[in-house]
Homo-oligomer: A and B are copies of this chain.
């Protein structure tokens, strides 16, 4: 049994080697998955990077507002969790360097009757724009799609 959030988090913190294995496993469990990286001081750029990757990798069906809406709010809330409160990066004088993961599929692999869900995870460093003056943060949101 595997849950959508567990798989998202596992991919977020995986090393490059573990990633390959995990991506295969995740696909075999019936999930569509995409990943990417972003370094930015603008929250809109991170949201755009997630949306672009999800469309390119066909996690979303082109032209379906419902699906984009579900992904958008999952991304916004994952970023809110990452920021631990109000969303703010450059306007709070900090920068982020993150990996993001998007999964689409069942809530958990033993309950496929619960329909499709989307999970967005963000993990990486947040801090001052000085090497080493930063620490880790994580954000995750799961939404009906």
Contact = CB atoms under 8 A, between A and B. Distances in A.
Q: Interface size for chain A: under 10, 10 to 19, 20 to 34, or 35 or more residues?
A: 35 or more
Contact of A87 (B65, B73, B78, B86): B86
A109 interface: no
A140 B133 contact: no
Contacts of A127: 69
A116 B90 CA distance: 27
A117 B84 contact: no
Interface in A98-145: 107, 111, 114-117, 123, 127-128, 132-133, 135-145
A56 interface: no
Contact of A77 (B51, B85, B132, B141): B85
> When A and B form their complex, which 3 residue pairs have the shortest distance between CB atoms, in order from nearest?
A5-B136, A44-B93, A81-B81
